[in-house]
Structure 1
Amino acid sequence: MSRAAAVRFERVWKRFGTGSVAVRDVSFTVPAGTLCTLLGPSGCGKTTTLRMIAGLDYPSEGRVLIGGRDVSTLPPAERDVSMVFQSYALFPHMTVLENVCYGLTVSRRPKREAEAAGRAALDSVGLAGFEARLPSELSGGQQQRVAVARALVLEPSVLLFDEPLSNLDARLRRKMREEIRELQQRLGVTVVYVTHDQAEALAISDKIIVMNQAVIAQEGSPRELYESPASAFVAGFVGEANRLPATLRRLDAADGEVQVGAAQLRLPHRGLPDGLAELALRPEAIAVLPAGDASAMLSGTVAKAAYLGGVVEYTVSTPVGEVFVVSPAAGRPWAPGETVGLRFGAHGAALLRGPALA
């Protein structure tokens, strides 16, 4: 493999036509040898950002740097990057080995040398022995591995993935994301990975950049984004989150007392002023207790219950609004209409910096 390279955006804009802004004043750095995911809903600008790294689109303003070199106006062939597309884009009339070697062949590498590199790339993705097959003879997961091998054989310093698992079923998606992560760590290549699937992003990333409406909403490690979302959008997009009205009283330079109905929590105040606030509370951070339990912080009535095998999902009506809870499916589940108590854990609770609920 080539030496991994860092990717840096410096105040990048991308406009289409006269009024459409796909990426607005975006700056970030992907450290060399890490896997960074661009996460966000459709139309947020993540794929356009990826295409500007690949050279398939050029920035309207700002700079794109790979390995410290300004590549903003360079064509794809001069950027030392490879891309795995959502559709895989395999040639149906070529064998697996011919598909993998295609990039080397068009760059006039000797056939024997190209085939040796292609076989090594196939071996690295667990497809040794599949060289003579056609794409139509492979499963979806195997086709995806061929597409990865075709990208790896060029020995890029940056490997790009554009929604590579969206065509696979849920079980295969989980297996393939684990394989992509293992491959990235083993080879030490820099990976920029686009997805709208938050579970996928949390599972494989060193760093996540959440985008919304053409700008970066928040960036950080998976744990930072999940446990300390900067806004209601991030809290709701990176996992499930209850948004509850609260009152904040700052206690010191770091922590505050947060009042949610009858419940009190001590949490980092994140620089917010005293007064009305909004609390993001993860569903799995809430325990459902029998009515009257002394450790309960809020009381409520079960409005909905859904048994999902390993967990039960509850919607509980409380004085501060409906609260969504994901509870282990141990023992007798609570039925709609039953009165219960709720206890909040500090882990999985965070004050939001956005506007408070009215």
Structure 2
Amino acid sequence: MTRAAEVRFENVTKSYGGSATAVRDVSFTIPAGTLCTLLGPSGCGKTTTLRMIAGLEYPTSGRVLIGGRDVSALPPAERDVSMVFQSYALFPHMNVLENVGYGLAVSRQPKARVREAALAALESVGLSGFGERLPSELSGGQQQRVAVARALVLEPAVLLFDEPLSNLDARLRRRMREEIRDLQQRLGVTVAYVTHDQAEALAISDKIIVMNQAVIAQEGTPRDLYEQPANAFVAGFVGEANRLDATLSHREGELAKVTLGPATLTLPHRGAREGAIQLAVRPEAIALHDAADPAAMLRGTVSKAAYLGGLMEYTLATEAGDMFVIDPHTNRMRGVGEPVGISLGGKGVAVLPA
């Protein structure tokens, strides 16, 4: 149904006059047929970047290429892209079938062709039989699928999503993100997806581009960003991370000795020099023991405890600083003030490059 195209930014800057720069000298590639998420806090430039792919904004400098073609100055209709907006933007006076076929109808396609394509698009998003309903007669998740079908009916080379799940409750968000990912893989279309939700980005993406203050902080696979964050911002934004002061010594090849309080670890140094460093320690990389357990590397005391059904969350005061811990062992609930032993797994513990 669709044909995928590569998206490439070459040194793109978007300024609005004066000192207001929304995107600064950004370069990246979204390979054809992949789902790439633009992730970051509000005001980081991710939505402006998406709008420059769509042609709703034009770069101040640099080039935007789709399928190898420079589209930097082209209007949206000439870019072979479709966009699903946060608000869905469905026409309330049109039924579902008319909403889905609207883009083809305004381009003066034959009515039979419009109807056939709209029905096929509805089937692809699991809404066969809903064509005669009005948007007001649909749930939020169904409206979101209608918006996706309306974008797909144009058979775009690139499909764009701007915070498409932000209006849905938590349970429906999870189901809809899975449906979007399944659809993208089934059709093989290139998708650029904007969100500020880290779990959403980790769950659906082939590639994540993390933006902060108008530039790219890091790009890579979800595993790369989670396990090997490039800096403290990425470590703290992509999932939870404890930032702990440590000392690096004795580099040998890719590895180095790292001292954290009384504990000594062997970790990849990731280019950090000998001396004071910071570690990013994921909460689930911390294992708790009884205080006297010889397997413990550090000692601490529980300062906060929260039961969340399938897991416990603890805040610990330790010899190496405060730590936030996620513990799946709810059968052993530790109380505030209880002394504990602590060990760190190799996975989820990373040196933050200088």
Give structure 1 regions of 4+ aligned residues with deviation exceeding 6 angstroms: none
Gap regions ≥5 residues in structure 2: none
Quick check: 1:248–1:257 contact (8 Å CA) kept in 2? yes
Partner of 1:313: 313
Paired residue secondary structure (2:252)? coil
Shift of residue 332, structure 1, vs aligned partner: 2.3
Partner residue, 1:179:
179
- 1:92 Cα deviation (Å)? 0.2
* SS state at 2:129 partner: coil
Question: More deviation in 284-293 or 243-252?
Answer: 243-252
Contact 1:309 1:329 in 2 (8 A): no
- 1:215 maps to 215
Say how many residue pairs are matched: 354
Per the alignment, residue 142 of structure 2 pairs with 142
The Cα of 1:333 is off from its aligned counterpart by: 0.5
Quote how far apart the aligned CAs of 1:17 are: 2.3
Q: TM-score, normalised by structure 1?
A: 0.98
Distance in structure 2 (CA, Å) of the matches to 1:331 and 1:76: 56
**8 Å Cα contact 2:38/2:193 also seen in 1:** yes
1:123 alignment partner, SS class:
helix
- Are positions 1:272 and 2:272 aligned together? yes
Query: What letter matches 1:154 in structure 2?
Result: L
Query: What value does the CA root-mean-square deviation take over the aligned residues?
Result: 0.7
Note if contact 2:2-2:187 (Cα within 8 Å) is conserved in structure 1: no
Matching of residue 49 in structure 1 with residue 73 in structure 2:
no
Matched, 1:37 2:37: yes
Structure 1: unaligned runs, 5 residues or longer: none
Counterpart position of 1:303 = 303
* Distance in 1 (alpha carbons) for counterparts of 2:187 and 2:128: 18
Structure 1 position 87, deviation (Å): 0.2
- CA-to-aligned-CA distance 1:150-188 (integer Å, 9 cap, x gap): 000000000000000000000000000000000000000
In 2, the alpha carbon distance for the partners of 1:245 and 1:255 equals 18
Alignment of 1:1-358 (within 5 A): 1-354=1-354
344 and 153 in structure 1: CA distance in 2 versus 1, 3 angstrom threshold: same
Please say if residues 90 and 99 of structure 1, whose CA atoms lie closer than 8 Å, have aligned partners that are also in contact. yes
Name the aligned partner's letter for residue 174 of structure 2: R
TM (normalized to structure 2)?
0.99
Measure the CA separation in 2 of the matches of 1:162 and 1:129. Answer: 27
- Letter in structure 2 aligned against 1:327: D
Change (3 A) 1:192 1:250: farther
**1:221 shift after superposition:** 0.1
Q: Please state how far the C-alpha of 1:19 moved relative to its aligned partner.
A: 1.7
CA 1:107/1:250 → structure 2, altered by over 3 Å: closer, same or farther?
Answer: farther
Identical aligned residues as a percent: 73
8 Å CA contact retained: 1:291, 1:339: yes
Aligned-pair CA distance for 1:259: 0.8
Q: Which amino acid aligns with 1:49?
A: T
